[in-house]
Amino acid sequence: MTTTLVTGGGAGIGRAVAAELAGRGHRVLTVSRSSRSSLQADLSLMRETGRAAEEVAARTDRLDSIVLCAGVFAGAPEWTDEGLERVLALNYLSRYLLIRRLLPLVLAAPAGRIVLVANAGKYPDTLDLDDLQMRRGGRGIRVAGRTQFANDLLAVDLMEELRATPVEVACVFPGLVATAVLRDARGVPGPVRAVAAAAQRIFGARPEVAARPIADLADDPAATAGGGFVGPRLRRLEIPPRVRAEERRAAVRTATEALVNPWLPATPGPA
Ligand SMILES: NC(=O)c1ccc[n+]([C@@H]2O[C@H](COP(=O)([O-])OP(=O)(O)OC[C@H]3O[C@@H](n4cnc5c(N)ncnc54)[C@H](OP(=O)(O)O)[C@@H]3O)[C@@H](O)[C@H]2O)c1
């Protein structure tokens, strides 16, 4: 049976993607903090992300797809008890760690898929490698925006790494979708949040509608056709040169590996 992991599967886009894939006959495992998910974990914590990866691996030896939807928008940094900035940890580091830990299960599928639901090329490069945890302060769109850019880099890295395998990788901008993501945005002034949430409600697509192309990317070989950056209704998006830049990707990858390293399984050393 086709097995899919959906993070953020308890609400919003993730919940709709999980329902769509379950309707298509997938066995769907979901992870979020909510009891509506099959596994509960706070993915802003790397120890819980690592535990969730272990629990997934205990339940299946193959993942046909991973759809990463868990994420937040926030306008101010906040730090977890692991010393990591919470938005970076949830929106990016936990995705990186889950993929690193679960990739063998995706490679065990005949045609694995990894789908990052983010903003696919919409954000500029505002990642400060000298202050990834934003300890020097800073507020506003950059707090979440840099994590979206980091998803772009991760997607392109994975596309290159997995080119010779059957695994396809897509990074998705779902368009404006009517969910609670802006209403609940921490660190954004109340009136701004209210206006943004109203616009989202009025102009945003229904999550069930936004979920269909994302589900296609997870389970329809014709839809993925090599992966890439994808917008609403499966429209192909250009991958911007700032995301392709090899040197920048390598620097971000090195910094990321250093941050998640304590939660990666130890690689056996020489005998
Ligand atoms: N909605 C849009 O217009 C839009 C546009 C572009 C991109 N996106 C991206 O799409 C993704 C999904 O957004 P959405 O609109 O569906 O947001 P949402 O309705 O707020 O749902 C967010 C999901 O993430 C989970 N989550 C949040 N914090 C978590 C934590 N610490 N640990 C585990 N799970 C956590 C939530 O579950 P719990 O709270 O139960 O844990 C929920 O399932 C996000 O990455 C967002 O950046 C959305």
Give the CATH number, domain containing residue 124: 3.40.50.720
Query: Which tokens in the block code for residue 46?
Result: 């790397």
Q: What is the mean pLDDT of residues 166-171?
A: 95
CA–CA gap between residue 129 and residue 117 (Å, rounded) = 23
Please determine, for residue 260, whether its predicted confidence score (pLDDT) is greater than 60: yes
Q: Around 82, how many Cα atoms within 13 Å sit in the side-chain half-sphere? A: 22
The answer to whether residue 189 sits within a structural domain is: yes
The residue whose CB lies within 8 Å of the most ligand 1 atoms, and thus the one to mutate among 5, 29, 33, 208, is 33
Specify the ligand 1 atom closest to the Cα of 176: 3
The number of distinct structural domains making up the chain is 1
Q: What is the mean pLDDT of residues 92-109?
A: 98
* pLDDT score, position 268: 61
Q: What is the mean pLDDT of residues 99-109?
A: 98
The answer to whether residue 269 sits within a structural domain is: no
* pLDDT score, position 225: 67
* pLDDT score, position 270: 60
Q: pLDDT class for 87, splitting at 50, 70, 90?
A: very high
Please determine, for residue 121, whether its predicted confidence score (pLDDT) is greater than 90: yes
* pLDDT score, position 160: 95
Is there a contact between 66 and 30 (Cβ–Cβ < 8 Å)?
Answer: no
Of the listed ranges 29-33, 40-44, 183-187, 254-258, the one predicted with least confidence: 183-187
* pLDDT score, position 172: 98
Spell out the residues 6+ positions from residue 270 whose beta carbon is closer than 8 angstroms to its own: none
For residue 70, what are the domain limits? 3-263
The residue whose CB lies within 8 Å of the most ligand 1 atoms, and thus the one to mutate among 181, 182, 184, is 181
Q: Please give the single-letter amino acid code of residue 50.
A: G
Please determine, for residue 259, whether its predicted confidence score (pLDDT) is greater than 90: yes
Secondary structure letter of residue 76 according to DSSP: S
Please determine, for residue 271, whether its predicted confidence score (pLDDT) is greater than 60: no
Spell out the residues 6+ positions from residue 175 whose beta carbon is closer than 8 angstroms to its own: 204, 205, 210, 231, 232
Specify the ligand 1 atom closest to the Cα of 16: 16
CA–CA gap between residue 158 and residue 249 (Å, rounded) = 11
Pocket of ligand 1 (CB under 6 A): 8, 10-14, 32-34, 42-44, 69-72, 90-91, 117-119, 174, 176-177, 179-181, 200, 204
* pLDDT score, position 208: 98
Q: Is 268 helix (H, G, I), strand (E, B) or coil?
A: coil
CA–CA gap between residue 1 and residue 158 (Å, rounded) = 25
* CA 122 – ligand 1 centroid, Å: 17
Phi and psi for 131 in degrees, rounded to 5?
Answer: -150, 55
* CA 268 – ligand 1 centroid, Å: 36
**Sheet holding 113-117: strands in order across?**
39-40, 27-32, 3-7, 65-68, 113-117, 168-172, 228-230, 236-237
Specify the ligand 1 atom closest to the Cα of 15: 43
Query: Which tokens in the block code for residue 191?
Result: 């009136």
Specify the ligand 1 atom closest to the Cα of 175: 5
Please determine, for residue 224, whether its predicted confidence score (pLDDT) is greater than 90: no
Please determine, for residue 269, whether its predicted confidence score (pLDDT) is greater than 70: no
Q: What is the mean pLDDT of residues 97-105?
A: 98
Q: What is the mean pLDDT of residues 54-76?
A: 97
In 3D, which of 60, 65, 81 has the Cα closest to residue 18? 65
- 175 membership: H or E segment, kind and range: none
